[in-house]
């Protein structure tokens, strides 16, 4: 149900799907990210370090792909799929920080042999049972928490992974846009 000041749902849905197909949401996100990085004194392009983590997403009924965590897709395969994209986006990438799920199986070897990058597994200190901020991983967990504030991220209502990705871009566009706005004021 849309508020009364929006056009009819089919117009909004059509514009969203058009943006998904054309890649406009990703483009807007990337440009805003570059502006934000420059505004805080960082280089416009990504640096040589990336933090890798996954998030459980429970899909709603009716989606084309169902399950939790990609159900039948091992973490290392999903990671390699994403890293193929990073290879193009981040030519200077050298080091990945990841949680223990990425340290299992042969992902360490695959990352080194396929991409020539180092994979450093960031672990919690032994014996600690209570909540603790773990450097590097906290950055990703904080971002997941920001995304969870957007209703569309409480459950994956999208029918395709591409649409779900676009909803994430829209949430991040909103987050970065608000930050840039605060910096200007």
Give the separation between CA 180 and CA 173, rounded to whole angstroms.
10
Residue with tokens 């960031």: 122
Q: What is the pLDDT of residues 45-54, one digit of tens each?
A: 767 777 777 7
As a whole number of angstroms, the distance between CA 125 and CA 131 comes to 11
The domains found in the chain, sorted by start residue, are 27-184 (3.30.420)
Hey, what are 144's tokens?
């997941």
What single DSSP character describes residue 156? Answer: B
* Predicted local confidence at residue 27, as pLDDT: 94
pTM > 0.95: yes or no: no
Confidence of residue 22 (pLDDT cuts 50, 70, 90): very high
Tell me the pLDDT tens digit for each residue of 119-153. 888 887 788 888 778 777 778 788 888 888 887 76
CB atoms within 10 A of CB 183: 11
- For 77-114, write each residue's pLDDT tens digit: 777 888 887 788 777 888 888 877 776 667 888 888 88
* Contact call for residues 16 and 7 (beta carbons, < 8 A): no
What are the structure tokens assigned to 136, written together?
């590097």
Q: What pLDDT, on a 0 to 100 scale, did the predictor assign at position 142? A: 82
């Amino acid at each position: 149900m849309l508020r009364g000041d929006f056009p009819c749902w089919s117009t909004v849905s059509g514009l969203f799907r058009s943006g998904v197909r054309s890649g406009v949401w990703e483009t807007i996100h990337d440009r805003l990210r570059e502006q934000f990085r420059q505004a805080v004194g960082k280089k416009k392009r990504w640096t040589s370090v990336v933090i890798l983590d996954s998030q459980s997403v429970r899909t709603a009924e009716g989606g084309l792909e169902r399950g939790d965590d990609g159900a039948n897709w091992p973490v290392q395969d999903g990671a390699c799929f994403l890293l193929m994209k990073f290879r193009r986006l981040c030519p200077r990438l050298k080091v990945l920080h990841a949680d223990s799920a990425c340290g299992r199986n042969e992902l360490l070897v695959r990352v080194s042999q396929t991409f020539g990058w180092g994979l450093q597994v960031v672990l919690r200190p032994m014996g600690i049972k209570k909540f603790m901020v773990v450097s590097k991983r906290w950055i990703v967990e904080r971002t997941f928490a920001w995304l969870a504030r957007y209703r569309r991220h409480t459950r994956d209502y999208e029918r395709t992974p591409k649409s779900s990705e676009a909803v994430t871009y829209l949430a991040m566009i909103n987050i970065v846009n608000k930050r840039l706005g605060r910096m200007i004021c």
